[in-house]
Amino acid sequence: MGWGTYNDRASSFPQVRQSALGVATSSPDQARWDRTAVRAAITIVFAALGVRLVFVLWAPDGLVSDGEFYHGMALSILNGYGFSNFDGSAANLWMPGWPAFLAAIYGIFGISIGHAQIVLAVIGAGTTALVIALGARIGSRRIALSAGALHAFWPGLIFYSGVLFGETLFSFVFTSALLLIAVAAKAEKRPFAWTFAAGAALGLAVWIRSEPVVYLAVAVATFMSAGTTGRRLGARTVLITLGLALVISPWTVRNAVVFGRFIPTAVNGGIVFYEGNHPGAPGGPDLLAVTKLRSRLPHLSHAESNLRLSQLGWDEGFKYIRQHPVDFVRAAGKKLFLTYSTDDRAPVLVRGFEGPRRILPSSYVPIHGYISESTMLTMQRFANVYWWGILMLVAVGMFHVRRWPRYMAVLVAGTLALAIAIHTLMIGGSRYHFPETPLLAILAAQGGIGIWNAVRRARLA
């Protein structure tokens, strides 16, 4: 079977005119079908919200690892000191989106980690809604709702609601951008407006993490696979790039004014790149190697030191790859293993243990111990079993992607392929597959439905 709309009688949307978001809108019978599907979707979203709220109401109001940095930065912004380092210099290591959002939460609801956790629970449920909407673009109600259910009850995602990391917000904004790209690819009305909106959404995601800049390539490939060519493709490429550039321009201009140079996003790229590409690189975060590299620099402000360190990291990392290509390939395997072998990072953070970071000889550095070790281990087992089940369903689902609309197959496959390439070049860790989970939920739903249909056909044979 070639490319085309998914056409399983038991799971297809009615063959009617689709709105921009892929929701059927014609006859009373079809509207009634729509109401049934919408009720199911709403139920799934509220279930996602419910389980997350239950968890964050139980979870400790603890700070650990990067969460301490984000909390401190949010307080700095809230108190009028801006996005600055501990020495007063302007911060440039990470993007300011999540600390600024956290500062807004503190400003509205008061300085409370518990309030932030509740907001994260709401955002996580919102991502479930986006997963359903994105899955609906395939043309199958069962895929859309099943993907939403898988995302709603995903333990690893639920557990991150209790940690002050930017992953939950980033996943919401990035998935919004992917949905807008899908809508823009097939929009008959105002396609250029949808394209610009997709670029703006990618720009908002860049405010949280720098990587979405490179996903412009996936967006252009998606437009091409939807039949956009020639001048219209060129216009869309310009519009989506313009949308992204305009949204991140305040940050880029700020960097130009403060540092006197063109820094479009953050400067941590070279540092992370070096962590993953140096002699003896473990494949994951290696702060000891970064500390040794920083010691080669003269005494500077923290901001200027980060700028020099990032450039040095790019230079040394590429030098290592050129001189040790075989070791780079081996390290790439370690990075991918660290990224996709488990989904148990959040329980470690909830527990209040940090590591492994190669700072001290021990594997884990105890910081707080908010929950018992046995509770943490139980959460980890639960998260990993669910994750391994998802991966098995994803493996099956990949064989059915050819039945999807071509542009959706390109969007999903291209996004995941580019994410894997980024992990291969940079560093690995289970935390870093978080933004891919909405797409993995859709693929897993497809795999589960494929297995169900195969079993049903075998029984009828």
Per the CB < 8 A criterion, the answer to whether 202 and 154 are in contact is: no
3-class SS of residue 90: strand
Q: How confident is the model over 53-104, as pLDDT tens digits? A: 999 999 887 777 788 889 999 999 999 988 888 778 888 999 999 999 999 9
The answer, yes or no, to whether residue 20 has pLDDT greater than 60, is no
In this prediction, residues 103-113 reach a mean pLDDT of 94
In this prediction, residues 304-319 reach a mean pLDDT of 95
What per-residue confidence (pLDDT) applies to 18?
Answer: 39
Residue 3 within a domain: no
Give the sign of the dihedral formed by CA 52, CA 58, CA 63, CA 65.
Answer: negative
The answer, yes or no, to whether residue 13 has pLDDT greater than 60, is no
Residue 459 pLDDT level (bands cut at 50, 70, 90): confident
Residue 173 within a domain: yes
Residue 19 within a domain: no
The answer, yes or no, to whether residue 438 has pLDDT greater than 60, is yes
Quote the CA–CA distance of 72 and 285 in Å, as a whole number: 22
The upper half-sphere exposure of residue 286, i.e. CA atoms within 13 Å in the direction of its Cβ, equals: 24
What per-residue confidence (pLDDT) applies to 359?
Answer: 38
Q: Which residues, including other chains, have CB under 8 Å from residue 422's CB and lie 6 or more apart?
A: 211, 214
Residue 337 within a domain: yes
In this prediction, residues 344-356 reach a mean pLDDT of 73
What per-residue confidence (pLDDT) applies to 25?
Answer: 37
What per-residue confidence (pLDDT) applies to 134?
Answer: 96
Residue 157 within a domain: yes
Residue 11 within a domain: no
Residue 130 within a domain: yes
- Number of domains observed in the structure of the chain: 1
Q: How confident is the model over 157-190, as pLDDT tens digits? A: 999 999 999 999 999 999 999 999 999 999 999 9
The answer, yes or no, to whether residue 297 has pLDDT greater than 70, is yes
What per-residue confidence (pLDDT) applies to 21?
Answer: 39
Quote the CA–CA distance of 5 and 3 in Å, as a whole number: 7
The answer, yes or no, to whether residue 3 has pLDDT greater than 50, is no
Residue 435 within a domain: yes
The answer, yes or no, to whether residue 6 has pLDDT greater than 60, is no
In this prediction, residues 124-150 reach a mean pLDDT of 95
Quote the CA–CA distance of 401 and 199 in Å, as a whole number: 26
Percent of the chain scored above 90 by pLDDT? 75
- Whole domain around residue 419: which residue ranges? 28-460
Quote the CA–CA distance of 401 and 67 in Å, as a whole number: 37
